Structure 1
Amino acid sequence: MDLAGKRLFLLDLDGTIYLEDSLLPGAADFLSYVRSHGGAVRYLTNNSSRGVDAGMEKMTRLGIPAEREEFLTAVEASVHYLRTCRPAGEAYFAVGTDSFRRQLRQAGFDIRETPDEDVAAVLVGFDTELTYQKVEDACRLLCRGADFLATNPDLACPTLYGFMPDCGSICQMLINATGRQSRYIGKPDPTMIALALEQTGCARSEALMVGDRLYTDIACGVNAGVDTALVLTGEATAGDAAVSPTPPTAIYRDMAALLAAIKEARR
């Protein structure tokens, strides 16, 4: 892998740049170095529980300057998918946070909060406000034949104490209950990377996908045809990578180690 030639860094957030409200080792220095040397960053996050404004506010709170254009979220990928791959005017039942539903409505979609007869699809996100009523209403719709869509397959979201259920775990509960299978829109689908390449004008050879999860972050890079770097600050271990069907191009202890490797490659 030609680290010296990388100028677009596609970065996961949870477990890669930070854990909850704590920056991970080397993250701030890495971002400062990339920007000061003419590189570009795009934050590719499957976390659909909060919007871009909240993401920018969090980065600012952590001392990291951030621009709106740098964020590509599973919500944006979902909006792109619904606009390009679904019929116009459909109604959706969203299992997600108030922020998730608000973002979808602002994008022009008909989002219902009850299992109405004309709902075409259930759309599941990372719901930190999940209730049993939402689960039951989703089951009603899925058993009735509504399509089953989801923002991302992540089973767990990293926290300071360990992990908490993510969108994939919520979907697995619905799968177990209804026998239906979900169509995932976010990582590992390569849509977010394709959007980032289009926005920046970078070639695939100039991009590097960096993340802590093999089956979403690294698989997304593999699916998009870009080099990948696994950091060991979140879910995956080096042992996991050795047996993964989508192994990373390289493995680093953390963002500090990746930064050191880039500096060495550019000497």
Structure 2
Amino acid sequence: MPEWIDIGVNLTDSAFDSDREAVLERAWQAGISQMVLTATSLAVSRQVQAICSENPERLFCTAGLHPHQASQWNDELAAELRVLARADCVRAIGECGLDYNRDFSPRPQQIKALEAQLELAVELELPVFLHERDASSVLIDVLRDYRDRLPAAVVHCFTADREALYPYLDMDLHIGITGWICDERRGSHLHALVGNIPAGRLMIETDAPWLVPRTLRPKPKRGRNEPAFIPEVASTLAHCRNESLEQLSLHTSATARQFFRLPTVQMASSY
């Protein structure tokens, strides 16, 4: 069975409150070897760390503030985040970035919070887990002052176009692909683009509980996505890249393991 590492799971979401352990078990059975749990606030950063402590070889997390909450950024929050980000299970700063699609926080505050978190990543020598919607050119401008000092950075859940992808690759950024690529209504443009992402720069994620692959059959109840569905994303991604599932598994898992500095795990013991 191919091995997969899901680099973006919102496991603290209330959609998983009733069966979180069962969700994890289904993921292990589906070939997921490890996951990186996404933090979007101080509260979620604490919650994901508690979950990671229950399975420290397979569960890891980020620590950060989502751009939707950027208006909350202040010195006290920054100090608390610096402490949380030093936990062993934290392997990246984020989810941070810019969202000019919904604009839930004023854009100047989004930039301020992003720059502060990039500085923290530089200080702690951690990679960055980035969110971007309708703001690729601004994100590139902000990153330009930090990129040489950052260990690495991934644009998670990439959904944009060629004009965004190529500058990201030129900056040596990694790219995360989700079930958006399985959505015939809005993700088909990605089919021609993903083959341009070099092996070693591509990673795969579900962004669960959102973005359930629309190609999945049978469709899950309540439309909830979960890590066990990552092989469905992988199937479309491999087809678009003209790769076998085994080839895709090998290089995306190796890339994720290197990017997040994950240990090697013995998959066979989980089945």
Q: TM-score under structure 1 normalisation?
A: 0.34
Structure with greater proportional strand content: 1
Structure with the greater alpha carbon radius of gyration: 1
Structure with greater proportional helix content: 2
Q: TM-score under structure 2 normalisation?
A: 0.34
